[in-house]
Amino acid sequence: MHNINISNLSGHDQDLEIHGWNNNNNMTVGAGTTAVIQADDGTSGAIIALHDGHEGEQAEITKDGFGGNDFIDLSNIVGAGGNMTVQQVGDDSTRKGDPLFMQHFNNAWSNADDNTKASLQPCVHLNGSGTVIRIDAIKDYPQLEAFVRSFANGMTYIGVGAWGGSPGNASDNIQSSAAHGNTDIQVTYNDGDATPPGSAPAQLFRKPQQKLVKRLDETPANGPGIILTNKSPQQQTYVFYDNFWNGNGTAGANFDHPGQSVTLDPNATSFVSLPETFKGRVQRGTQLPATWVEFQISASNDGAAHGDISLEQGCDGAATISATNGSGRSNGFTQDILSGAPDAAVFNKPDGTKALATTMGNWACGPNQAAIDYENQVVGQQKAYVTGGTGTDDVASGNQCLAVDFY
C-alpha cells in the first residue's frame, strides 16, 4: 500500500471530489496543508478539484498497474478553475500537468480576437474584472479544445484520447505513459504555481511540447486489459466473467462465477487490468438477459486482443468495442434499441428492468424469434452476433488493450 499526498498551496480551502479511494467521499484540504489518503496497489481513481460545485482539473491515477508501474496523468477534459500537477514523490521527471494552466489560459485569452472570444463565450467564465476564473468541460466544446491546444498541448490531457474508436491526439495519448515503478504519489493544487514544494518553480510562458516520451521498445501504456467507459446516464456496475474452458472456435460460457466488477458513474472511465490468459466477457451486472462484450486479451495465433459484441444472451443496452493501437477498428452499436422493441421481444430481468430476450435460449427459455427479427432489423449480424455463426466483424488490437463503451 502507498499514499497519495494532496497539497493545497493556495490561500483558501479547496474542495476535492475523490473517486476510487477515501470511500469515494469528497474532502476539503485546508489552505497551505497536505492531506494523505491510502491507495492500495492495483487500484485506480481520480482526484478532482471542484470550483463552485463544478468539476475541474483532475489527477487520474492507477497504482501498481501494468509491469508494476504507476500510471498517472493530469486531465482538463471536464474543465478547469485552478492549477494542478501530479507526479511520483521525489521524481520530477514523472510530472504531468501545466502548473500555470489558468495563467496561460488568461494570457491566451487576452491576446485572442473578438471572434474567438465570442465563440468561447458559452464555456468560459469571467469575474467582474474580466479574468477567466473557470472553463467548462473541454470535451463538450470543440472550439475550446482548439483554443487550449494553442498553449497547453503536450502538458495535460485535453481531448478524449485513443478510445471509443478514435485514435485520439498524439499529445494526449502520451500523457498515459508509465511512471517509474510503484511509489507514493504527489498531487499539488494552487491558484498560482502548482509545482510541488522543493521543485524548481514553473515559468510563465508557453513551454515546449516535451513530456515523458515512451520508448519504442516500451510495453504499451495501458497494458493488457480494458479501458471501460460508462456512457449511460446512470451509475452502472460491470462484471467480468472468465470462460470455464476455451476451444478452437468454441468456449464454455461462465454463467454463475462472476469475477471482478467495476462501478462507474455516468461518463466515467476506468482502466481494468486483466491477465493475458483472460478469455470471456464483461456485462452490466450479473443478471440475464444482458449484452455481452466478448473478448480475449492474447489470442494464441497472433498475441493480440480480439473482441466483439454479442446479443445471443439478450440485450440490455448498446455497447461498442474498439482497438486502442491507433488502427481505428471498432464495432458494435450506440443507439437505444430497447425503447422501440416489440413487446414479444422484451423480457423482464429479476430486478424488474427490461431487456431484449435471448436469441439462442438458455435454462430459462428458448430462442425468442421476435428478438431475432427485431435485432436483425435495427442492428444486424455485422455489428453484433444476433445469432451464432459468422458475419460479425472482429476487432483486434495488437497492444492487448481494447476500449469498451456501454451506453
Model confidence pLDDT, tens digit, residues 320-344: 999 988 888 999 999 999 999 999 9
**pLDDT at residue 247, rounded to an integer:** 54
pLDDT at 166: 56
List the single range of 40-49, 172-181, 228-237, 363-372 with lowest mean pLDDT.
172-181
pLDDT tens digits, one per residue of 220-239: 345 799 999 999 999 999 99
**Strand ranges inside 243-357, DSSP E:** 245-246, 251-252, 261-264, 269-273, 279-284, 292-296, 305-310, 319-323, 330-333, 346-348, 354-356
Q: What share of the chain is helix, strand, coil (3-state, %, to 5)?
A: 15, 35, 50
Instruction: Kindly tell me if the per-residue pLDDT of 209 is higher than 70.
Output: no
Per-residue pLDDT band at 363 (split at 50, 70, 90): low
Structure confidence at residue 251 (pLDDT) = 58
| pLDDT for position 230 | 95
pLDDT at residue 374 above 60? Answer: yes
pLDDT in tens, 257-277: 889 999 999 999 999 999 999
pLDDT digits (tens, 9 = 90+) for 94-112: 899 999 999 999 999 999 9
Strand partners, 347: 355
Segment (H or E) for 71: strand 71-75
> What 3-state DSSP class applies to 22?
helix
| Per-residue confidence (pLDDT) for residue 351, from 0 to 100 | 86
Give yes or no for residue 383 having a pLDDT over 80.
yes
The predicted-structure confidence for 114-166, as pLDDT tens digits, reads as follows: 999 999 999 999 999 999 999 999 989 999 999 999 999 888 989 865 555 55
Give the integer Cα–Cα distance in Å for 51 and 16.
9
Tell me how many helices (H) and strands (E) the chain has: 5, 27
The CA-based diameter of the chain, rounded to the nearest angstrom, is 69
Pairing of strands 54-62, 44-51: antiparallel
Q: Which residues contact 363 (CB under 8 A, 6 or more apart)?
A: none
Determine the distance from the C-alpha atom of residue 283 to the mean position of all C-alpha atoms in its chain, rounded to a whole number. 17
Cell numbers for 377, please give them. Answer: 432489423
| Rounded mean pLDDT, 66-92 | 91
Q: Which of 302, 264, 300 is nearest to 285 (CA)?
A: 264
Label residues 219-254 b or e (16+ Cβ within 10 Å = b): ebbbbbbbbbbbbbeeebebbbbbbeeeeeeeeebb
Taking the complete model, does pTM exceed 0.75, yes or no? Answer: no
Nearest-angstrom CA–CA distance, 317 and 240: 17
40-69 per-position pLDDT tens digit: 988 999 999 999 999 999 999 999 887 788
Strands (E), 147-250: 185-190, 225-230, 236-242, 245-246
pLDDT of residue 165: 54
